[in-house]
Structures are given as structure tokens and as C-alpha cells.
Structure 1
Amino acid sequence: MSPQSIRELAGEILTLCTQLEQSCNESGIPPPNLSAGGKTDFWSDSEVTPTRTTALGLLDQLTTLLQGPHDFLHEFVSTNWDHGALYVFLQSHTLEHIAQSGQASLHDLSTQSGIPEDKLIRILGLLRCRHIVAEPEKDAFTLTTVSEELLKDGDFRAWVEFQLFETRVASAHLADALSHKPNGYADGMSGFKEGWGMEMYDWHAQYPDKGERFRRAMRGVSRALDPADSLLENWIKLHPPTGRTKIVEIGGRYGFASVSLVQKHPDLSFEVRCDSQDFLDRGSALVPSVCGDRIAFSHCPSLLDYSPADDSHTGWIYVIRNLFWNWPDEDIVRLLRTLQRASGPSTRILVTDGVSPISGEFPPHEEIAYRRRDVTTMTMHNMKQRTQEEWMALFGNVGEGVQVETTFERSSHVCKGLWEIRFGGEDGS
């Protein structure tokens, strides 16, 4: 049981911080600091991550105890204004101007952004308190390691901006969306539609600049935090092909696993089948020319209604990556039955998707990210993350003789499952 008293929590935190310091000294890792240009592996080194995250979880408990209910709630909701200030900082390109100058005056920042000095100083003042900018001299501003992070990876920055804009509006309308009757997953309304007047993908199609930002955001999140590709890669390593060597990927709205897999496995061939020519073109553009003859991109008017080619002689694996999370159960069963009819007896279907863990399965400071994911899918799409029990019941509805083996992997922000689906009792040998 976690310690409950202030003294016990403080003692645990001190012990963990001492361990962190010792580990860094032994590994030659510079101590963390927030000054611009500071370089350290402290925040990314896998050896210190478990100790660091545990200390953060205990620190969060201690902070809440010290604040008390009223102050906790006040601080909890007030971060809305911090988010608004950060979005101004990014949209006005003040970040880039400070980066180019090294140190920029308030006057120069006001001139380039078009924001009056008397307003901009208040925005920068709040961001200074949040360690996003520093003010080494009066009315002169520099970046910190926090704001420099937004310059390193444009896809990560796109994710931050998406969170600061679309999701803030959608979450503010979730309560109103849930007040409609009926408000189930099949017949309810998303917070996004309540706030923006249409579903998210339709809204992004109407505003292409925001749609492109969202695609970049999802690409960045997938690259940094999504274990789906790792699960697929590990499965392939543990199951070398015998005879058939073709992998068929179905779907892939904002990225295809095959694009990376084809570069790692010269002995395999791939085909991507998708209902969007735009997504296929984007995926094809990412494939190096030396791999082009081993991967095909096929347009299907509908993933549910198309008549698949006979894969029984060449198909080894079907890959369905991050596709089913917003599909109704009946459509999933329908597609899996279609693939079953098209495939050979030892063909495997590999499904990777999000899982909602059991309550209390992880410590609160880890579980909170997965509970946010539950609320995210509800807010943005009026969909839910299925639990493992729900996934297994769903796959069981495909037909008699279905066999499923599950592997789980998680990151700091998402829990993913890989379900290997077999039919007819075949062992794949």
C-alpha cells in the first residue's frame, strides 16, 4: 500500500531521488535543468525511467495532500488559461522569433506578432511561471528546454496544438453531448460534434490545414508513444514465415505498419488495402524506391463490401492496425468473416488496437493516462476503448473454432493489445 502521511511520502520521494542521483552519477548522465541548450539523457534513459515515474506519482500524492481539496480543484481547472497562453505563443510564432534571436525584447516580439506589448507581457509572464520561457532581463525573453522541445519535432508540436485547440473545445461540450437522449455509443453524440457542428473527420476535411495538422499529430504520437508497430515487429520475429511470405494490411487511416516493416524485412512482400486513395498515396510516398517492388497499394471502395483477391495461396498474415477502435462490433465481425473466407487455413489475422485496462491494474500515476484515453475516444468520436474481455467476446462472435492469443504492451500514454486470430483449430504448423 502506498504511504499516506506527508512524512512517509516525503521520505519515499527522498529515497527515490537519492537513487536517481546515484544512477545518474554512475552512468555519467548530466543532472536535469531547464536552461536553454541544456542536454541530458535524464528524461529519456530507460534505466532511470521507472524510478523517475514512481517518484512523480508519489510527488503528485504529496502535492494533493499539501494543497487540500479546495486548492487542488482551483489549480486543476485553472490550467485552462495556461493552455490558452501557450496556444497564442505557438500560433503567433513567438516561439520561432525567440529561437532565431536567442534573446528577444518585448518590443520586438510585439512587433513581429502584432500583439500589443501590454497584452503580450501578460501572456509571456504566465508562460514564464510555467518554465516555457525565461526572462533573464526585464522585458527580454529566452527559451527553456521545455519550449526547445517544441522546435525539435514538428509532429509533436502538431499534437500539442491539436490538444490545445480541437480537444479543448470538444471536451468543454462533452457534458452537453451526454445530456442528449439517447446518449449511448451507437446512438449518442460526440463532444466534438456538439462543439464544432460535425464529426471530427468531416471538420478536418472542411478545414484542410487543421486536417493536415492532425495527421502530423497522429504520426508523431504513433512514432513516440504507440506500441502497435513494436507488437507487430516482435510477433514477426517470433514467427518466421514458412512458405507464404505475403503480408496484407487492411485500413490505415493515418499510417501503415507496412511502410516500416517492408524496410526491415527484405524477405517479405506487402499489400496495403485501404478505402482512401489519398491515404494510399501518402503511404506510398514514404516507401524508399529500393523497396517499391515488394509493396503494393490497392484502393478498395469499401473495406466491408469489396471482394478480396484469393489470398489462400500467398497470404501469410493479415494486419489490422489501429482500425477497429471506432468500428461497431457488427462491422468488425463482418470484415473478419470476409478475411476468413479469403484466406488459407493457416493464415493469421493480427489485430492491434487500444485496450482499456482493468481499474486498479496500474498505479494511479500510470492509470490516469489510460483513463484519459477512455474519455478522449468518448469525447472526440462517441466511441469507447474496449476492455480485453470485450475484445475477446467480439472475436468469439466471428464463428466456430476461432482461437485467439493476446500480447500486451504499453507506453506512458497508451495500452495496446495484439490479438493473433486463427480459425478452424489450426496450429499454423
Structure 2
Amino acid sequence: MGSGPTAELDGIIGLATDLLQQCQIISGECNRSKVSTLRTAINGSAETWHQTNPRANNARSVAQGLITQLSTFLHGPHEYLHELVSSNWDHGALYAALQARVIDHIAASTGGSSLYELSQHCDIPEDKLSRILGLLCCRGIISQPEQGVYVSTSVSRELIRDGEFRAWVEFQLFETRVASAHLANALAKKPNDYTSGVSAFKQAWGMEMYEWHHSQPQMGERFQKAMRGVAKSLDPADQLLNDWFKIHDDLPSMKVVEFGGRYGFASLYLAEKYPQCEFEVRCDSQDFLTRGEALLKATCRRQVIFTHTPDGLHDAPTEDQSAVSTYIVRNLFWNWSDEEATRLLRKLVPALRSKPSTRILVADGLSPAFNEYPPHIEVAYRRRDVTTMTMHNTKQRSQVEWLALFGKADPQISVVTKLDANAHVCKGLWELSLIC
């Protein structure tokens, strides 16, 4: 095919044809599953998005990628960039509406809310509020069926339905948006490497994120709520661990020791599924342990013990070498330096050497190699790379970097890797043992 307008038109037609085929697959699968297809997604039921039909879900993913390509074709470079950066104002309007609880008031009204009512409720002048709501209508977050009357859509209903997801949205709209604006200045400081550099969050707020959340209890509670939601809906780490335990379910009376805590504990999830196992959670934060204990189901209380390690996680009692069958290190190493991580692993290696059946399971984030996934999915992983750099001055390790890290702990370590990825995050489970 040649270049020029004709070739570009052929490309657009090809994309549109492929998109139509994927939409026909979605519609057909919805009909077979007796799920209503959506005439307009923003006003419809969420059934189509929540169904687990693999063929329909794959078609949706492919269609999203095609839409992205088609939109880029139609915009052209100038309009594409204009639209990309202008979304900042959409984010500001949404955050203002969430903070003023305008969306909550609209959702609570069965017949819709008038501009006057909303202005009185949130104490924002009608003239200003109408402009904020107008932009949110354009983005499908709310709808205006008649002049000056606003109703919910499936998008705003999702924010009301899932408080933990809403907390994550608000965290993204405020803390991460402010931090991202300071990434350029953080990188301009020297040194700017991962060891000695400063995070963009610290550049913006004068302290690291966890310190700032501690100093702002309301924001800290929102962040914790957001991370609980992410762990449940977006993080495949627990599922990777569960899959491993299914395969090794024949091991009697397994003693499992887990390190971590900031983003929850796998032990709470696994104890209910594997009653023959005994779990010990070790964490240097009593606050995290207290939160974990509060979430543990009563039926599992004898199964899980919580151990505070105020001096850090690097001390492995000698009795571990005979008692522990499995160590879990979940979502812990992602913001640790290689030196910190290898220090902990080296403390655990004697247990592997003492009892060859012992395993270390590391569940953490992975930065996939470029072009391993379709562009519309890969963008989420590249965002994750920039997110960790911006918020913490750390990096998501690649598979090569993970393997090098384990090799530093002990050159005789053998590694088996399992990966799980969704449209938001790529996670790895690395099973470590010693080569016999």
C-alpha cells in the first residue's frame, strides 16, 4: 500500500471495519448470555462490563484498542495533543464535584436535581456550578435530560456504589495529579537517580507520600481505603498465590510466614481457603497489624498470628529453619532498594538450605518488556512505571532485573516465574528454592 491520503483513508476504513466486527461479537455474546447490550454506555446497566464471558471480554479489549487507533487517526497530531492535555480540566471539575458531594446529591434524588437545589446543597454559586456540571455532562459522568436538571449515569453510580474505588479516584485526582506536575523539577535536581534522587511527590509537598499521609489523617485514611479497593479489584497477587497453594495443597500442616502489610496481607485471604495451614504475619508497623487483625474472619483467628517486628523485617529466627515451609513476600520489594531486598532474602536462605522443600514466594509488580502487550493495555504498565518514579522515586523492575536481584541473594537460587496481568497492572509470582 502506498503513502498519502488514499492509504490513510484505507487505514481508517480497515480500523472501522475491524471495530464493527468486534462490536458484533460483543452484541452476539450478550444476547447468548441474556445480558442487555448498552444503547448508550453511560446511561445503561453495568451488566455488560461485569460479565465474565471470555469471548465478549476479549472483543471489548480489542475494540478499545481499535477505538484508540481510530481516534488518533481522526484527530491528527495537533488535535490529539490538545485533547490529551485538556483533560486536566475534566479532572479538576470531577474532583470539585466529588469533594462538594454534588454527585452524591444527584444520585440520592430519584427524579433528578435542579441546579438551584445543588447550588444550595454544596454552597457553590449556580453560575459556577453550571459550568462544572456542563463539563461533567460532556464526559458522561452525569446527564442533563432537561435544562437545569441533572441525573446520574452508570459512571456516577459506580462512584457512589463503590466507596473504595471512589477513594482511589480522588487520590488519583489530587495527590498524583499534583505530584506529576512536579516530576520535571524533581528530575532537574542532581543527582536524580533512584538512589539519591528526590520523588516528585516530595518535590511538591516537602515530604514523602507516607509521611504526608501521616500528617494529614483524613487524606491518609482515604489512601488506605483506596489501596484496599485496588487490592480487591485490580491486584492479581492474591490470585497468583492462591493458584500456587492449590498445586501444593497436599503438603500437610504448612507453616507460612508472610512479610509486608502496607497493602494488606495475603494470609487473611489464604487462611480461609487452606484451613490446614498455619500463618504468621510479620510486620514492623503495629498499625498495619492492627488493621489486619480487624479484617481477619473469626473462623480463622486461631490460624493466623500477628508478630510485631519493631526493629525491621530482616531478622529470621533460627527456629524458622525447621518450622517454616513457605515464606510470602507480597507487594513489599517494589519500593525497596536491591540492597534492602537482598538483605532480607539472605536471612531466609538458610531455611531453604536446611530444608530443601521450603519455598520463598515473592509477589510483586513487574514492568513488562516494551511491546509485549497491545498498545491500549501497555499504556497502563508504562503509566505504572512513571507512577512509581513520581510518587516514590522507585522503579518497577523488569523480569531481567528481578532475576538479577534474586541472584544477588544467592547464586544457587532457582526461580520459577508465573505472571498475571489485567488492563491495569502486571504482577509476577517468583517461587524461589535452592538448586540441589
The structure 1 residue matched to 2:366, chosen from 351, 355, 359, is 355
Match of 1:109 in 2: 118
Using the TM superposition, give the Cα deviation of residue 305 of structure 1 relative to its aligned residue in structure 2, in angstroms. 4.3
Using the TM superposition, give the Cα deviation of residue 252 of structure 1 relative to its aligned residue in structure 2, in angstroms. 1.8
Using the TM superposition, give the Cα deviation of residue 35 of structure 1 relative to its aligned residue in structure 2, in angstroms. 7.7
Residues 1:167 and 2:176 are matched in the alignment: yes
User: 2:49 is paired with a residue of what secondary structure?
Assistant: coil
- For residues 347 and 317 of structure 2, the distance between their equivalents in structure 1, rounded to whole angstroms, comes to 8
Superimposed CA distance per residue, residues 263-306 of structure 1 (whole angstroms, 9 cap, x where no aligned partner) = 11111110000000000000000112221111000000133443
User: 1:46 is paired with a residue of what secondary structure?
Assistant: coil
Match of 1:302 in 2: 311
Is the contact made by 1:133 and 1:143 (CA closer than 8 Å) also made in structure 2? Answer: yes
Match of 2:34 in 1: 28
- For residues 366 and 215 of structure 2, the distance between their equivalents in structure 1, rounded to whole angstroms, comes to 31
Match of 1:98 in 2: 106
1:336 to 1:407, Cα distance in 2 relative to 1, 3 A: same
Residues 1:385 and 2:396 are matched in the alignment: yes
Query: What is the aligned-residue identity percentage?
Result: 54
Superposition pairs for residues 184-199 of structure 1, below 5 Å?
A: 184-199=193-208
Using the TM superposition, give the Cα deviation of residue 309 of structure 1 relative to its aligned residue in structure 2, in angstroms. 5.2
- For residues 33 and 302 of structure 2, the distance between their equivalents in structure 1, rounded to whole angstroms, comes to 45
User: 2:325 is paired with a residue of what secondary structure?
Assistant: strand
User: 1:406 is paired with a residue of what secondary structure?
Assistant: strand
Question: 1:22 is matched by which residue type in structure 2?
Answer: G
Residues 1:42 and 2:48 are matched in the alignment: yes
1:33 to 1:143, Cα distance in 2 relative to 1, 3 A: farther
The structure 1 residue matched to 2:72, chosen from 61, 64, 69, is 64
Relative to structure 2, which stretch is displaced further, 151-160 or 236-245? 236-245
TM-score by length of 2: 0.94
Relative to structure 2, which stretch is displaced further, 335-344 or 167-176? 335-344
Using the TM superposition, give the Cα deviation of residue 312 of structure 1 relative to its aligned residue in structure 2, in angstroms. 2.3
Residues 1:263 and 2:272 are matched in the alignment: yes
Is the contact made by 1:244 and 1:313 (CA closer than 8 Å) also made in structure 2? Answer: no
Using the TM superposition, give the Cα deviation of residue 401 of structure 1 relative to its aligned residue in structure 2, in angstroms. 1.7
Match of 1:395 in 2: 406
Residues 1:371 and 2:382 are matched in the alignment: yes
Match of 2:4 in 1: none
Residues 1:16 and 2:22 are matched in the alignment: yes
Match of 2:251 in 1: 242
- For residues 34 and 314 of structure 1, the distance between their equivalents in structure 2, rounded to whole angstroms, comes to 58
Using the TM superposition, give the Cα deviation of residue 314 of structure 1 relative to its aligned residue in structure 2, in angstroms. 2.1
Question: 1:55 is matched by which residue type in structure 2?
Answer: A
Q: What's the C-alpha RMSD, in Å, of the aligned pairs?
A: 1.5
Using the TM superposition, give the Cα deviation of residue 137 of structure 1 relative to its aligned residue in structure 2, in angstroms. 1.7
The structure 1 residue matched to 2:227, chosen from 206, 218, 222, is 218
TM-score by length of 1: 0.96
1:27 to 1:229, Cα distance in 2 relative to 1, 3 A: same
1:363 to 1:36, Cα distance in 2 relative to 1, 3 A: closer
1:35 to 1:414, Cα distance in 2 relative to 1, 3 A: closer
Question: 1:249 is matched by which residue type in structure 2?
Answer: E
Using the TM superposition, give the Cα deviation of residue 247 of structure 1 relative to its aligned residue in structure 2, in angstroms. 0.8
Is the contact made by 1:34 and 1:144 (CA closer than 8 Å) also made in structure 2? Answer: no
Is the contact made by 2:322 and 2:351 (CA closer than 8 Å) also made in structure 1? Answer: no
- For residues 243 and 161 of structure 1, the distance between their equivalents in structure 2, rounded to whole angstroms, comes to 45
- For residues 383 and 348 of structure 2, the distance between their equivalents in structure 1, rounded to whole angstroms, comes to 33
Match of 1:51 in 2: 59
Question: 2:396 is matched by which residue type in structure 1?
Answer: Q
Match of 1:156 in 2: 165
The structure 2 residue matched to 1:84, chosen from 74, 81, 92, is 92
Residues 1:123 and 2:132 are matched in the alignment: yes
User: 1:312 is paired with a residue of what secondary structure?
Assistant: helix
- For residues 16 and 289 of structure 1, the distance between their equivalents in structure 2, rounded to whole angstroms, comes to 47
- For residues 34 and 271 of structure 1, the distance between their equivalents in structure 2, rounded to whole angstroms, comes to 49
Superposition pairs for residues 304-323 of structure 1, below 5 Å?
A: 304-308=313-317, 310-323=319-332
1:33 to 1:297, Cα distance in 2 relative to 1, 3 A: farther
Question: 1:318 is matched by which residue type in structure 2?
Answer: Y
Question: 2:16 is matched by which residue type in structure 1?
Answer: A
Match of 2:289 in 1: 280
User: 2:291 is paired with a residue of what secondary structure?
Assistant: helix
1:348 to 1:89, Cα distance in 2 relative to 1, 3 A: same
- For residues 371 and 43 of structure 2, the distance between their equivalents in structure 1, rounded to whole angstroms, comes to 39
- For residues 67 and 349 of structure 1, the distance between their equivalents in structure 2, rounded to whole angstroms, comes to 50
Match of 2:3 in 1: none
User: 1:298 is paired with a residue of what secondary structure?
Assistant: strand
- For residues 266 and 251 of structure 2, the distance between their equivalents in structure 1, rounded to whole angstroms, comes to 21
Using the TM superposition, give the Cα deviation of residue 400 of structure 1 relative to its aligned residue in structure 2, in angstroms. 3.5
Match of 2:429 in 1: 418
Structure 2: give runs of 5+ residues left out of the alignment.
1-7
Using the TM superposition, give the Cα deviation of residue 190 of structure 1 relative to its aligned residue in structure 2, in angstroms. 0.8
1:213 to 1:300, Cα distance in 2 relative to 1, 3 A: same
Superimposed CA distance per residue, residues 81-116 of structure 1 (whole angstroms, 9 cap, x where no aligned partner) = 000000011000111111222211111110110100
Aligned residue pair count = 423
Structure 1: give runs of 5+ residues left out of the alignment.
none
Superimposed CA distance per residue, residues 178-225 of structure 1 (whole angstroms, 9 cap, x where no aligned partner) = 001110000111110111111000000000111111111111111111
- For residues 39 and 305 of structure 1, the distance between their equivalents in structure 2, rounded to whole angstroms, comes to 50
